[in-house]
Amino acid sequence: MFLALLELRAARGRFVLMGSVVVLVAALVGIVSGFTTGLGDDTVSALRALPATHVAFAPGSDSDQFARSLVDERTAAGWDKEEGVEATPLGVALTRGATDRGVEVDLAAFGVEPGAFTDPGADRGEALDADEPHGIVISRQLADDGVRVGDTLTVDRLGIRLRVTGATSRSSYGHVPAAYVTTDTWRRIRFTTPGTDARPDDLPVQYSAVALKLPTGFADQKLAAADRRHRTTTVPLQDAFAAAPGYEGERLTMTSIQAFLFLIAPLVVGAFFAVWTVQRTPELALLRAMGASRRRLLGHTLAQAAVVVAAGTAVGAALASAVGLLVGERVPFSLPAGSLAATMGAVVLVGLAGSALTLRRVTTVDPMTMLGAAR
């Protein structure tokens, strides 16, 4: 280890150069990881916040279920009668509107039953009230866009006027800030034809899906039988994320970029240490001639690689965190400490794996090389 550190100091220019490459790779991996998590949160955070275990859709809606699926009141009531199951209708629709102060916003309207387990309540102001069907609770992003509690929000083209009664935490769906309305109001948004003034009683009593809380012992066979009875297709909440627009495509793209970076890292590190091993072959041969074991040479090489890769990764992690602080909430970026640690740990492992590609040359150094070089 002492010789490894001395060599790092003697050839610090080369190792700093290699460390800089590791810093850039680690920082890039961390930044991509932050954007992957941030984009995912910006697409499905409203769904992730639902305290449900499963979501029941209409059969046949294999993609973009929240836009294509329609389940009726009878289906929701039937699920609620299942033993040990909590069920409540859920509506999801993208729309836009403007406040009485001229603030124009896009929003994802989530139709929920006031007081049901899908009702998010309100951190400020008042929660949804069944006696006040024209209320709306906005997420924090809409508040950041200029919508205030007490404003009147008019849904574009439909003329539906809603009073902002409260605000809740950050949540979004398909990169659009979420807002929560009663199911009757949601049906007006979803089914009203522009230019008409339909009442809730005149509209279909249908919803996008049924949010479910299934007991732990609700076996797959029992779930399949319930689906047949209620003519639904039920998926775990995590699988319902794929119903959000763009979620699968974005996740696949960002994950592919991460995978390529993890492939590049060991190749770059391995190439550097391969060249470095060739250049110091005489020194390694001298150590072998002086009695150093192959095991000691391996430890010597791995110690150098570990110092360079670990130090570069630590600086890269700090750089990725600084980028997250710099962009703030202006872009969908999220890099929790646990995710950052796991990502950087993977960078260290693949970096060391790259350096391991040179170990065979280290162990096969011939002590006679030094004698031959002296002739």
Q: What is the pLDDT of residues 42-100, one digit of tens each?
A: 899 999 999 999 999 999 877 778 988 999 999 999 999 998 999 999 999 999 999 99
pLDDT of residue 329: 73
Tokens 């406040």: give the residue. Answer: 99
Report strand pairing: 104-112 vs 86-99: antiparallel
Q: Which residue has the higher pLDDT, 71 or 327?
A: 71
Query: Confidence band (pLDDT; 50, 70, 90) for 221?
Result: confident
Q: What is the mean pLDDT of residues 368-373?
A: 55
- CB of 316 within 8 A of CB of 344? yes
User: Which H/E stretch holds residue 71?
Assistant: strand 71-72
- Is the pLDDT at 13 greater than 80? The verdict is no
The first and second tokens of residue 39, run together, are 């984009």
Lowest model confidence (mean pLDDT) among 164-168, 169-173, 265-269, 319-323: 265-269
Half-sphere exposure (Cβ direction) of 38: Cα atoms closer than 13 Å: 17
Half-sphere exposure (Cβ direction) of 206: Cα atoms closer than 13 Å: 16
pLDDT of residue 243: 86
- Is the pLDDT at 283 greater than 70? The verdict is no
- Is the pLDDT at 284 greater than 90? The verdict is no
| Three-state DSSP class for residue 134 | coil
Give the C-alpha separation, 57 to 212, whole Å. 11
User: Which H/E stretch holds residue 97?
Assistant: strand 86-99
- Is the pLDDT at 292 greater than 70? The verdict is no
Query: Confidence band (pLDDT; 50, 70, 90) for 375?
Result: very low
Lowest model confidence (mean pLDDT) among 15-24, 72-81, 161-170: 15-24
Give the C-alpha separation, 246 to 229, whole Å. 32
Cα–Cα distances in Å, from 171 out to 124, 211, 369? 15, 17, 66
Amino acid (1-letter code) at residue 47: L
- CB of 93 within 8 A of CB of 186? yes
The string of DSSP codes covering 142-183 is HHHTT--TT-EEEETTTTEEEEEEEE-S--EETTEEEEEEEH
pLDDT of residue 315: 94
- CB of 45 within 8 A of CB of 172? yes
Q: What is the mean pLDDT of residues 324-335?
A: 83
Q: What is the pLDDT of residues 238-265, one digit of tens each?
A: 999 988 888 888 888 988 998 888 888 8
Q: What is the mean pLDDT of residues 322-331?
A: 83
Q: Which residue has the higher pLDDT, 370 or 237?
A: 237
Lowest model confidence (mean pLDDT) among 144-158, 278-292, 339-353: 278-292
Helix axes 2-10, 294-327, angle to 10 degrees: 60
List the beta strands (DSSP E) in 12-85: 54-57, 71-72
289 burial level (CB within 10 Å; 0-12, 13-18, 19+): middle
- Is the pLDDT at 198 greater than 90? The verdict is no
Q: What is the mean pLDDT of residues 268-295?
A: 68
Q: What are the φ/ψ torsions at residue 203 (nearest 5 degrees)?
A: -100, 155
The first and second tokens of residue 145, run together, are 């866009």
Query: Confidence band (pLDDT; 50, 70, 90) for 289?
Result: low
- CB of 335 within 8 A of CB of 34? yes
Query: Confidence band (pLDDT; 50, 70, 90) for 374?
Result: very low
Query: Confidence band (pLDDT; 50, 70, 90) for 367?
Result: low
Q: Which residue has the higher pLDDT, 60 or 370?
A: 60
The first and second tokens of residue 159, run together, are 């003329």
Selection from 67, 49, 50 nearest residue 58 by Cα: 67
The first and second tokens of residue 300, run together, are 């010597």
pLDDT of residue 44: 92
Selection from 224, 236, 211 nearest residue 88 by Cα: 211
Amino acid (1-letter code) at residue 351: G
322 burial level (CB within 10 Å; 0-12, 13-18, 19+): exposed
CA torsion 137-142-144-149 (nearest 10°) is: -30
Q: What is the mean pLDDT of residues 140-155?
A: 94
Ramachandran area for residue 102 (φ above 0: left; ψ -120 to 50: alpha; else beta): left
pTM summary value: 0.81
Query: Confidence band (pLDDT; 50, 70, 90) for 17?
Result: confident
Round the average pLDDT of the chain to a whole number and report it: 85
